[in-house]
Structure formats: C-alpha cells, structure tokens
C-alpha cells in the first residue's frame, strides 16, 4: 500500500472524531509547548550568566594584598600594602599568565561645571581595559607614557558621564577629581550590572601612578590594592594559581611555614558556579516538561488502542480484501505519527508564544533556540512512533476471521 | 469436471478449543470444486457452513486435512501470501455487505487495488468501470449509508470483482435483502459465473436462492450429507 491513500485514510479516520483527535493532540501540544518554553527560559538564564562572564572577562584571578593582624585585631584583605607594581610586572613574566592589571581603587568626588558626582576611581594601567574586556565608546585610552609620567587624564564610565555631562560631549573636557584637574580622554562603553548587581559603569579610570602619587597618596611607593590576572587559558588556571602563589611567596621572602601575605582568588570559579546552577536549573525544568511530553505520548497510545478496538471490524474487512500485516500496521502507525507531529507543530507555536509572553511579563531574558525546537520535534515524532507501535502491532496481529466477526 | 479443481478439500476438519475441550465444527470434509462451477452450500444453523466458507476464503485455518486452492496447499502459505490470495484470487461477498462506512462507494470498490499496489488513476478508472458494470455508475460519490441494501451489495460485488478473481465466495449474500433484490443479486452472480467463467461458492439457507446454483452441497453436523447437481434449473437457465 502506498503512502497517498494511507494519508487520506488517516485523515478520514481522524476527521471522523474531531474532538477526540484534538484532545489527543492537545496532550502533545502541551508537552512540546512546555518543553520549548522551559528550554527557552533556561537558555535565557544561561545567556544572562554567559554575558555577565563575558563582561567581566574570561579566565580571571584577583590577587589581593594581604591582611594584617595587629594586637589581635585582624584587618580585612587589602589593608596592608604588600603588593606592588613590580609584583605585577613579575607575574606577567609567568608562562601561564597572559596579562596582569594592577589596580589601586579609591573613591573621589568628580566635579564638572556646576555638577558633581561621587564615584569610585580606579588607578590602572592600560592593560586593565584588555583584561576586563572593556572598550571605549568615544575618545582614546591613555597609554604607558601617561602612566610613566603620572598624567592627569581620565576615562569616565557611562553613569558618571550621564550625571556630570548630561547630553554634552565630555571628550576633551576637563573635570576636577579631588583637588586637581583631569583631561577626559575617553568614555567607557556601557557594561551594565555585574552578577552581584553592582553598576559597573559608575567608575572613573586614571593612571595608577597618578592615583598613587597625586590622588590618594601612599606612604609606600608603587603599592597596589589588588591585581586582576588573566590566565592563558581556562585549562591553565590551576597551574597559573600555583605559579603565582610560588612566585609571590618568593618575592615577598616568606618562610616555608608562614602564611601568605596576599590571596589569590579564582573569579571564574565563582562565575562558573553560577553558570553550573543555571544549567542544573534549566535541565530540571526541561526534565519536568519532558514528563508532560511522556504523558502526551501515553495519551496517544491510549486513543490508538481504543481506535483499534473500535475499528476491529474494519481491520477484518481490510484483511478479507487483501491487506497484509504491514499495511494494517503502517496505517495505524501513520495515524499515531500524524497525531504527534501535528500536535507537536502546534506545540512549537504555543511554546514560542508562551516564551515570548513570559519574557514580556516577567522581563526575563528568554531565548528560543532552533536546536531546542528541533529536539522537541524529534522527540515528539519518536514518542508518536514509540507509543503508536504497540496499538498498530496489535491491530496487525488480529486474526482476520476474529476481526471480521467482531461486533 | 475435466479440468483440475479450483478447490480441493481432503479430510478437512476444524474444531474450536473451549474450556470444556475441543468442539468439532467440521469433520472429514472432502470436496472438489471445478472451474466455472456454481455451488450452493446449504445446511441448518450450526452445521459449519460459515466456518467452511472462512476456511475456503483463507480467513481461517483448518485443524486437520488439507485445502488446495488452484494447486497450492494453503496450509503451507505465510500470512502475507494468504493476504495476497484474498486480494487477487478470491472475491468475498458478505451478508452484511461489509463496506467501509467512511469511504465512498468508489473508494470502497477501489480499495483492493490499493493493496494490490495499483496507481491512483488506474485504480479509480477500474473502479468506475466496475461500478458501471453492476449498475451503480451514478452512485460513485455516495457513502454506503446513502444507498439501499441492494445497491450496497452490488458495490460489494463490484469490490469483490475488481481484481478479476477466479473464485467468488458469497456468504448469505441475500440474507439482508428483500425477495426482488435478492433475485437481482443472484442474477448478477449467475451472469458472472456464466459469462466470466468465475467459480462461485454460495452459502444460503434459502432453497430459492440455492436453486440458482448448478450443484448443491448439503452440510449436516460438519459433514457433507449430500452432494449433487441441480439439473433442471441449471439446464433451464442455460437454455435461455
């Protein structure tokens, strides 16, 4: 038996009981729709985390200056100036380390015209922009000669520009940071919130030497509060951590038993935990949605079994006029497949619409990927064949005489 | 009967297994039916007529003995080979017509060609031809519940004929029809037998219907009690 008459017969059979056909498909629609929606929500969460990671920069360590204990009072890390720019330069020589950006952070009031704005000011080297994966939206970055000469230049974050300049173009203007004038060389591209909700655009960058000597002042020449270190690759991170610790202990002349006077933190590890969490969550959502797909499949099997029983006599007639076992099996299998595939198509549509609705109502990022749609589709077709096979086989195995005599 | 028989039953037996043990339905049936014969099988209820028809139609398998159809031992054939025999060699006509209710008359008649793997245009053309032949040309697009019982039986006969079978098995073909329509249907079967040379085996309990046949087989308690020609009526009909 060829496919053409089979298709039209399947259509006739399903058209004969439209409500039942629709309800059976509804199970598939809901199942597929749920899977696609859940995958979209999960993918949205993952994309958010991925973007956060990308905005922070990849394969990063933070090396913090050490804590001090004086008269039983233990101060937090970064309070004792144990790290220097020289340390940063030494770390950069390591084979496993790609780039090092020493940072001296502080807070200062910035004034332009009648406006003023308190923000965090970071003393940095030009390496910083590269390591943090930060671009400029206008102007130019300062370079190593500005750092050597401790030039009074600055790069402003988006939030700072908005608060000080409004619509005015800040590049080339002079602002006052603390007590001295600084030339605005460029504007940092907007980065948005970090994973912990901090506004990354509320900052001004100045050469680290300027921060050390002029803005914050320091009794220790060349000291930095922390450094951001980028490893050569994700795989090299454990080795890089060991190398850095070893080198810094050597440089700081720490005895074998002594505690580190600095700490190395793997930033990527923190973020990959977040990524891991979202991945687990989306997997779980998908698994729950898959259960409804399974239930939809069982619905198809149920209806096909009813249909085979109802049409026993028809099967008998078909046998009497020459239908082979495979003709009968294929006919019922095709009906199950149509039920699941049509249900699935509508389900894809529902799932995408639902995902868009969720993103509109909950203001969450929701991403429908082609692969998730394809996967849901293939699974649905598989479910149709799997759950359609038993009823179809049952129909095909009926004895012609028994089927024909069935009342 | 000079030619090789179309049907040869040798020591054929059939019993059904029940909880109380096997119940015999057919016992040692021996029957040869030749080409172009018109055989009526009669007998009281429960004499095994319908069971015999099922076995002749390859819908059921005998418990004992052999059934040779056109020289082939049916017991040795696979399920699909049997399906092929039902499709190409045998045409069924049932008491209850057994048309598919959701399909039009034309689609019902064309259905055996679907299983025979015939292409669509040829299928529909042949089915239309066959409907014309049984006088149902105008009813091709009607559904079975829109036409009369006699017309449904004509459609069923058209379906039985569409693959040019050598054997027509009619199980109480007029059981659900009035006398006049019954005579029409029997006339159609006789015409097929006389003009087309098709072997017809008919089961009935009505002597008037059986009178259309050339040969009468009487079945009692699953055994052949009588087997002989119906000369007068056959001679009369042939003379016309």
pLDDT tens digit string along A136-162?
888 889 888 988 888 999 999 989 998
Q: Is residue A75 part of a domain?
A: no
For residues A105 and A250, membership in a common domain is answered with yes
Same domain, yes or no, for A301 and A376? yes
Question: Would you mind telling me the total number of residues written for chain A in this entry?
Answer: 407
Q: Quick check: B87 contacting A, CB < 8 Å?
A: yes
The model's pLDDT over A173-210, given as tens digits with 9 standing for 90+, comes to 999 998 889 999 999 988 877 767 778 889 999 998 88
With an 8 Å Cβ cutoff, are B98 and A401 in contact? no
Shared-domain flag, residues A243 and A388: no
How does residue A312 score in pLDDT terms, banded at 50, 70 and 90? very high
A278 shares its domain with A384:
yes
Q: What is the ipTM of this complex?
A: 0.89
Residue B195 CB-half CA count within 13 A = 7
Q: Report which of residues B3 and A163 the model is more confident about.
A: A163
Q: Is the pLDDT of residue A391 over 50?
A: yes
pLDDT at A286: 81
**What is the pLDDT of chain A when averaged over all its residues?**
85
In sequence order, the 6+-apart residues with CB closer than 8 A to the CB of A178 are A108, A109, A215
Domain membership flag for residue B140: yes
pLDDT of residue B68: 93
- pLDDT more than 70, % of chain A: 94
* The two structure tokens encoding residue B36: 């172009």
- The chain B residue lying nearest A400, using CA atoms, is B59
Q: Indicate the residue among A225, A260, A295 that finishes a domain.
A: A260
Residue B60 and residue A399: Cβ atoms within 8 Å? yes
Residues A151 and A9 in one domain: no
- Same-domain status, A251 and A279: no
Indicate whether A170 and A296 sit together in one domain: no
Chain B neighbors of A326, CB-CB under 8 A: 80
Greater confidence, A269 or A330? Answer: A330
Domain that holds residue A116: 81-260
What is the pLDDT, as a whole number, of residue B236? Answer: 43
Is residue B116 situated within a structural domain?
yes
The phi, psi pair for B65, rounded to 5°, reads 75, -175
A12 with A47, same domain: the answer is yes
Which of A7, A11, A18, A322 to mutate to probe the B interface, most B CBs <10 Å?
A322
- Over residues A287-308, the mean pLDDT reads 88
Number of structural domains chain B divides into: 1
Instruction: Give the pLDDT of chain B (240 residues) as one tens digit per residue.
Output: 456 888 999 999 999 888 888 888 999 999 999 999 999 999 988 888 888 999 999 998 899 999 999 989 998 999 999 999 999 999 999 888 899 988 899 999 999 999 998 888 999 999 999 999 888 889 999 999 999 988 999 999 999 999 989 999 999 898 888 888 899 899 989 988 998 889 999 999 888 889 999 999 999 998 998 888 886 444 444 433
B227 has a chain A CB within 8 A of its CB:
no
Q: Is the pLDDT of residue A70 over 70?
A: no
Task: Tell me, yes or no, whether A286 and A355 share the same domain.
Answer: yes
Q: Looking at the predicted structure, is the pLDDT value of residue A53 above 90?
A: no
Please tell me whether residues A89 and A230 are part of one structural domain: yes
Distance from CA of B233 to the nearest CA of A (A): 32
Whether residues A132 and A244 fall in one domain: yes
Question: With bands split at pLDDT 50, 70 and 90, how would you rate the model's confidence at A372?
Answer: confident
> Contact A317/B117, CB-based, under 8 Å?
no
Specify if B109 maps to a domain.
yes
Q: Which residue has the higher pLDDT, A154 or A377?
A: A154
Q: Please tell me whether residues A133 and A43 are part of one structural domain.
A: no
A10 vs A392: CA distance, rounded Å? 13
CB contact under 8 A, A323 and B115: yes
| pLDDT band, very low/low/confident/very high, at A127 (cuts 50, 70, 90) | confident
- Residue B240 included in any domain: no
In a domain, B135, yes or no: yes
CA dist., res. A150 & res. A171, Å (int): 19
> How many independent structural domains does chain A possess?
2
CB contacts < 8 Å between A and B, how many? Answer: 65
pLDDT of amino acid B2: 54
In a domain, residue B149? The reply is: yes
Is A348 a residue whose pLDDT tops 80?
Answer: yes
Nearest to A123 by CA among A230, A203, A219: A203
Tally of CA atoms within 13 A in the half-sphere of A306 that contains its CB: 12
B117 in reach of chain A (CB within 8 A): yes
Domain boundary, last residue among A238, A260, A282: A260
Amino acid B160: pLDDT:
92
What's A234's DSSP letter? S
Of the candidates B22, B95, B87, B15, the one whose C-alpha atom is nearest the C-alpha of residue B55 is: B15
User: Is residue B134 in a domain?
Assistant: yes
Q: How far is CA B159 from CA A64, A317, A320, B97, B136, in A?
A: 91, 11, 11, 10, 12
> What is the domain extent for residue B135?
100-157
Looking at residue A81, what is its pLDDT?
A: 72
Residue at A299 is within a domain? yes
- The three-state secondary structure class of A82 is coil
* pLDDT value of residue B147: 93
The confidence score (pLDDT) of residue B1 equals 46
Residue of chain A minimizing CA distance to B161: A321
Contact B112 A404 (CB under 8 A): no
Q: Is residue A266 part of a domain?
A: no
Burial of A220 (0-12, 13-18, 19+ CB in 10 A): exposed
Q: What is the mean pLDDT of residues A276-302?
A: 85
B86, B88, B163 member nearest A320 (Cβ): B86
pLDDT, mean of residues A294-299: 87
Give dist(CA B238, CA B194) in Å, integer: 8
3-state SS assignment for residue A42? helix
Q: In this structure, is residue A265 part of a structural domain?
A: no
Q: Is residue A61 part of a domain?
A: no
A324 and B59 within 8 Å at the Cβ level: the answer is no
């Amino acid at each position: 038996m060829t496919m053409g008459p089979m298709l039209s017969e399947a259509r006739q059979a399903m058209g004969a009981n439209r409500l039942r056909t629709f309800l059976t498909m509804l199970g598939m629609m809901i199942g597929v729709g749920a899977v696609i929606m859940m995958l979209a929500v999960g993918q949205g969460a993952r994309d958010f985390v991925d973007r956060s990671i990308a905005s922070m920069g990849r394969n990063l360590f933070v090396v913090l200056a050490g804590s001090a204990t004086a008269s039983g009072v233990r101060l937090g890390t970064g309070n004792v100036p144990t790290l220097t720019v020289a340390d940063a330069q030494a770390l950069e020589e390591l084979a496993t380390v790609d780039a090092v950006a020493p940072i001296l952070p502080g807070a200062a009031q910035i004034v332009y015209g009648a406006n003023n704005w308190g923000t965090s000011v970071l003393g940095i080297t030009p390496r910083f922009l590269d390591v943090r994966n930060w671009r400029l939206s206008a102007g130019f970055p300062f370079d190593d000669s500005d750092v050597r000469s401790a030039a009074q230049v600055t790069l402003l974050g988006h939030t700072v520009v908005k608060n000080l300049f409004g619509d005015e173009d800040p590049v080339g203007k002079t602002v006052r940071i603390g007590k001295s004038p600084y030339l605005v060389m460029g504007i940092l591209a907007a980065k948005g919130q970090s994973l912990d909700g901090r506004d990354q655009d509320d900052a001004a960058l100045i050469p680290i030497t300027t921060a050390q000597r002029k803005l914050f002042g320091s009794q220790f020449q060349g000291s930095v509060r922390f450094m951001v270190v980028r490893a050569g690759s994700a795989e090299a991170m454990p080795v890089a951590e060991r190398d850095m610790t070893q080198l810094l202990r050597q440089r700081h002349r720490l005895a074998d038993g002594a505690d580190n006077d600095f700490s190395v933190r793997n930033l990527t590890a923190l973020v990959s935990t977040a990524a891991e969490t979202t991945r687990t969550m989306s997997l779980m959502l998908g698994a729950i949605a898959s259960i409804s797909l399974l239930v939809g499949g069982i619905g198809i099997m149920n209806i096909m079994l009813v249909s085979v029983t109802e049409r026993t006599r028809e099967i008998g007639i078909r046998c009497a006029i020459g239908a082979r076992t495979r003709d009968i099996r294929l006919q019922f299998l095709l009906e199950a497949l149509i039920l699941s595939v049509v249900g699935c198509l509508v389900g894809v549509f529902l799932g995408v619409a639902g995902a868009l609705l969720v993103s509109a109502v909950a203001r969450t990022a929701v991403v429908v990927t082609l692969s998730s749609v394809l996967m849901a589709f293939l699974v649905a077709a598989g479910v149709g064949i799997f759950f359609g096979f038993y009823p179809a086989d049952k129909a095909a195995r009926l004895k012609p005489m028994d089927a024909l005599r069935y009342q | 009967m000079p030619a090789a028989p179309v049907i040869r039953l040798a020591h054929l037996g059939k019993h059904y297994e029940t909880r109380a043990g096997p119940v015999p339905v057919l016992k040692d049936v021996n029957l040869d039916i030749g080409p172009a014969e018109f055989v009526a099988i009669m007998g009281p209820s429960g004499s095994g007529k319908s069971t015999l028809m099922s076995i002749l139609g390859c819908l059921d398998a005998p418990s004992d003995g052999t059934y040779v159809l056109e020289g082939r031992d049916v017991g040795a054939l696979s399920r699909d080979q049997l399906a092929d025999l039902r499709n190409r060699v045998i045409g069924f006509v049932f008491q209850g017509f057994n048309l598919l209710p959701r399909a039009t008359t034309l689609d019902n008649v064309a259905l055996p060609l679907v299983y025979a793997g015939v292409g669509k245009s040829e299928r529909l053309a042949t089915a239309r031809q066959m409907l014309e032949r049984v006088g149902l040309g105008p009813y091709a697009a009607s559904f079975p519940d829109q036409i009369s019982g006699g017309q449904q039986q004509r459609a069923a006969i058209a379906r039985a004929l569409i693959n040019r079978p050598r054997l027509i098995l009619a199980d109480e073909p007029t059981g659900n029809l009035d006398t006049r329509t019954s005579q029409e249907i029997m006339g159609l079967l006789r015409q097929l037998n006389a003009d087309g040379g098709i072997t017809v085996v008919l089961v009935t309990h009505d002597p008037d219907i059986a009178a259309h046949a050339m040969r009468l087989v009487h079945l009692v308690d699953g055994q052949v009690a009588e087997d002989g020609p119906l000369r007068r009526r056959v001679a009369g009909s042939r003379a016309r």
